[in-house]
Amino acid sequence: LLAAGGVVLGKTNMDEFAMGSSTENSAFGATRNPHDPTRVPGGSSGGSAAAVGAGIVRCALGSDTGGSVRQPASFCGVVGIKPTYGRVSRYGLVAFASSLDQVGMFGATVEEAALLLQTVAGQDPRDATSSNREVPDYLEEIDAGVEGLTVGVPAEYFTEALDPEVRKLCEEALDRLRKAGALIREVSLPHTQYAVPTYYILAPAEASSNLARYDGVRYGMRAPGTDSVAAVYEASRTQGFGGEIVRRIMLGTFALSAGYYEAYYGRAQKARALIARDFQRVWEGGADVLFTPTSPTPAFPLGERTQDPVSMYLSDIYTVTANLAGIPGISVPIGSVGRLP
């Protein structure tokens, strides 16, 4: 970005180690939603979404392991892109869950988000997982319209979990697409119900491995006043991680431990393959794109879910599938519920 003439204004707030859906797991304090300061901006890249939503910058970067660009983009009324796995180099990005992580873009408009992606996409010898496929011109067809485009609408994304007002906005958006010439077709992604449990086994498992290096020796804070290697590890890891990180490390370590590995990690890997195959079948069936809500609700009040991790995890129900399948996703504003995007 710097080489292309970009101007960096600053770093933005986020959930610690990108674990969270509200930016409330930050040692710097919570970020507020620019449309209603009593509400969260979403997360984990909530600071970037809020900065674009408030008009401080036109675009910003974030990371998306299970929705952390798309969900805050939707809460803050901006565009958020999670590119295909491997599209953008992760060199310099702190690893959370390496098989899911991807750098994402926020833009005030689709065009600005696309420009940002255009600038950062491509192979990087310093990231072995970056793709060597040619980077297409993302702006080439930006005015082409949707005439003849087949838009799949997965039935599993429109259940009781979806807020009725969000559902209404989705239906209105689908009507606009239909009027503009798109072919709207109901499709099925039958393993969707397993996506959140699958993600919340795999992501903590990978995180517990990635965070093992934060032992106060080379990485992370080092607790003072300890007198043995074991004491440095224990005190540094106890004092250095916030509560959600401790929960993930414990969940992940349990899921990977001898005797439980097959029952949890092994089964989650199989479920992941089934979720990816669901998407494959839909593309083979002729869908060009899918239309889904980004989040089941608009931005929720600050503090509402901090004591209830499961309700926080359920905010990710519509976004984790793309990461599990490795496919790209974009969140675009479609309207508001009151003043909330």
Site residues, ligand GLN (CB under 6 A): 18-21, 44, 63-68, 96, 203, 316
Task: Count CA within 13 A, CB hemisphere, residue 129.
Answer: 16
- Give the shortest CB-18-to-ligand GLN separation in angstroms: 4
- The three-point CA angle 266-250-29 to 5° equals 125
* 243 token code pair: 């509560």
Handedness of CA 230, 205, 61, 172 (dihedral sign): negative
The residues near 171 (Cβ < 8 Å, ≥ 6 apart) are: none
Asked if residue 265 lies in contact with residue 313, where contact means CB atoms within 8 angstroms, the answer is no
Nearer to ligand GLN, 153 or 201 (CB): 201
Nearer to ligand GLN, 14 or 287 (CB): 14
Handedness of CA 146, 152, 155, 156 (dihedral sign): negative
- Give the shortest CB-102-to-ligand GLN separation in angstroms: 9
- Give the shortest CB-139-to-ligand GLN separation in angstroms: 26
Nearer to ligand GLN, 70 or 237 (CB): 70
Nearer to ligand GLN, 63 or 131 (CB): 63
* Count of other CB atoms within 10 angstroms of residue 165: 15
Nearer to ligand GLN, 45 or 131 (CB): 45
Q: Cα 337 vs. chain centroid, distance in angstroms?
A: 22
The residues near 26 (Cβ < 8 Å, ≥ 6 apart) are: 13, 14, 15, 16
- Give the shortest CB-187-to-ligand GLN separation in angstroms: 25
- Give the shortest CB-185-to-ligand GLN separation in angstroms: 29
- Give the shortest CB-316-to-ligand GLN separation in angstroms: 5
Nearer to ligand GLN, 121 or 203 (CB): 203
- Report the C-alpha gap between 57 and 35 in whole angstroms: 16
Nearer to ligand GLN, 48 or 89 (CB): 48
Helices (H) and strands (E) in the chain, counts: 10, 7
Nearer to ligand GLN, 78 or 182 (CB): 78
> Phi-psi region for residue 10, left (φ > 0), alpha (ψ -120 to 50) or beta?
left
- Give the shortest CB-257-to-ligand GLN separation in angstroms: 21
The residues near 77 (Cβ < 8 Å, ≥ 6 apart) are: 35, 53, 333, 336, 341
Task: Count CA within 13 A, CB hemisphere, residue 255.
Answer: 25
- Give the shortest CB-31-to-ligand GLN separation in angstroms: 14
- Give the shortest CB-251-to-ligand GLN separation in angstroms: 11
Nearer to ligand GLN, 93 or 274 (CB): 93
Name the closest residue to ligand GLN (Cβ): 68
Handedness of CA 280, 283, 289, 290 (dihedral sign): negative
